[in-house]
């Protein structure tokens, strides 16, 4: 069944039309209106109409949408810090302009759903999709399907507090997080976290890309930074395992593109394992940039079947 997916981000709204086998047929990105709720809803409606016309299926085309944030299952309202629609039922507002209601999901959940179905987690029963980019978040699927979640959240693992045994021996500060708490994993293992770690250790502003590039060219202090980042990120993998024991963790987001990131994380993770627990498969994502739209499209087709 051909289908469409819309990935709603803080800077762009990306629409993709997918073929029967979930390959991208065509993609269009437009800028996300940042200040006005009605402009934002109009932009979404424009992407929906583009997909409907392109497909030739008009309103029978299944289309799903993914956003970075919570979607309250009881009220339908979405909560996100980067969109001018936080606190609103986006699906309901949009339905006024397109005469139908489209399903909405969290983008980390969309990523996990996409990778569990024809992606890097294909064939595994329990798949966690872990995104390490500007922020850190994860989604979970069981047998290729999403599980119902009380608050409509993803696995908000970026906002789990980092354990004292990780910070104290390394003499690392407890950094404040954008969520209002202190010491969240996101502040140490996201792209910004890697940059903060580098700036803290080397005493000058550094970017994550710069640290990765210098480490790859053999610069010792940057290699040490990347190794420290990997050890801290492995502690997060351990927490995911202790909480969910998935058979596969699929990595996405900008930091999943670090060369050899899988062995870089597996080595410290192996040393942290509890008792006789086996390490899950650690893999990098196959569908990359299309995962938000692809996961949302899969959800939309399943709602019809
Ligand atoms: Zn936080």
State the CATH number of the domain containing residue 32: 3.30.420.40
Shared-domain flag, residues 293 and 277: no
What pLDDT does residue 215 have?
97
Q: Give distance in angstroms: CA of 95 to centre of ligand 1.
A: 33
Shared-domain flag, residues 13 and 96: yes
Q: Give distance in angstroms: CA of 181 to centre of ligand 1.
A: 5
Q: Give distance in angstroms: CA of 187 to centre of ligand 1.
A: 8
What pLDDT does residue 179 have?
87
What pLDDT does residue 10 have?
86
Q: Is residue 47 part of a domain?
A: yes
Q: Give distance in angstroms: CA of 21 to centre of ligand 1.
A: 37
pLDDT, one tens digit per residue, over 84-141 is 998 999 999 999 999 999 999 999 999 999 999 999 999 999 999 999 998 899 999 9
Q: Give distance in angstroms: CA of 158 to centre of ligand 1.
A: 6
Shared-domain flag, residues 202 and 61: no
Shared-domain flag, residues 103 and 134: no
Residues in the chain where the model's pLDDT stays below 50: none
Q: Give distance in angstroms: CA of 177 to centre of ligand 1.
A: 5
What pLDDT does residue 305 have?
63
CB 26 within 8 A of CB 14: no
Shared-domain flag, residues 239 and 298: no
Give the number of domains in the chain.
2
Shared-domain flag, residues 281 and 294: no
Q: Give distance in angstroms: CA of 168 to centre of ligand 1.
A: 19
Q: Which of 64, 86, 74 is nearest to 10 (CA)?
A: 86
Q: Is residue 114 part of a domain?
A: no
> How many other CB atoms are there within 10 angstroms of residue 203's CB atom?
8
The helix, strand and coil proportions of the chain, stated in percent and rounded to the nearest 5, come to: 45, 20, 35
What pLDDT does residue 91 have?
93
Shared-domain flag, residues 136 and 269: yes
pLDDT, one tens digit per residue, over 268-283 is 999 999 999 999 999 9
Q: Is residue 14 part of a domain?
A: yes
Q: Which of 60, 75, 252 is nearest to 151 (CA)?
A: 75
Domain that holds residue 258: 123-285
Q: Give distance in angstroms: CA of 226 to centre of ligand 1.
A: 22
φ and ψ at 126, to 5 degrees? -125, 120
Q: Is residue 258 part of a domain?
A: yes
């Amino acid at each position: 069944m051909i289908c469409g997916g819309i990935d709603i981000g803080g800077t762009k709204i990306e629409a993709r039309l997918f073929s029967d086998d979930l390959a991208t047929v065509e993609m269009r990105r437009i800028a996300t209106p940042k200040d006005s709720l009605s402009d934002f809803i109009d932009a979404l409606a424009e992407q929906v109409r583009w997909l409907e016309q392109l497909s030739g299926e008009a309103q029978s085309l299944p289309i799903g949408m993914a956003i970075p944030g919570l979607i309250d299952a009881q009220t339908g309202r979405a909560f996100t810090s980067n969109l001018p629609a936080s606190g609103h039922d986006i699906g309901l507002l949009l339905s006024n302009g397109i005469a139908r209601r489209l399903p909405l999901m969290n983008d980390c959940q969309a990523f996990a759903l996409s990778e569990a179905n024809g992606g890097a987690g294909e064939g595994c029963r329990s798949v966690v999709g872990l995104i390490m980019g500007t922020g850190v978040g994860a989604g979970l699927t069981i047998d290729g399907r999403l599980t119902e979640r009380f608050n409509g959240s993803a696995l908000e693992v970026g906002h789990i507090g980092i354990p004292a045994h990780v910070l104290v021996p390394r003499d690392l500060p407890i950094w404040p997080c954008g969520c209002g708490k202190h010491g969240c994993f996101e502040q140490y293992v996201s792209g910004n976290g890697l940059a903060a770690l580098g700036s803290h250790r080397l005493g000058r502003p550094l970017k994550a890309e710069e640290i990765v590039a210098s480490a790859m060219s053999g610069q010792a202090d940057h290699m040490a930074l990347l190794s420290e980042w990997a050890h801290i990120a492995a502690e997060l993998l351990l927490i995911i395992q202790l909480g969910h024991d998935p058979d596969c963790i699929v990595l996405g987001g900008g930091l999943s593109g670090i060369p050899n990131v899988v062995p870089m994380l597996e080595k410290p993770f192996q040393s942290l394992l509890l008792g006789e627990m086996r390490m899950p498969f650690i893999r990098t994502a196959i569908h990359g940039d299309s995962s938000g739209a692809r996961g949302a499209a899969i959800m939309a087709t399943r709602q019809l079947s």
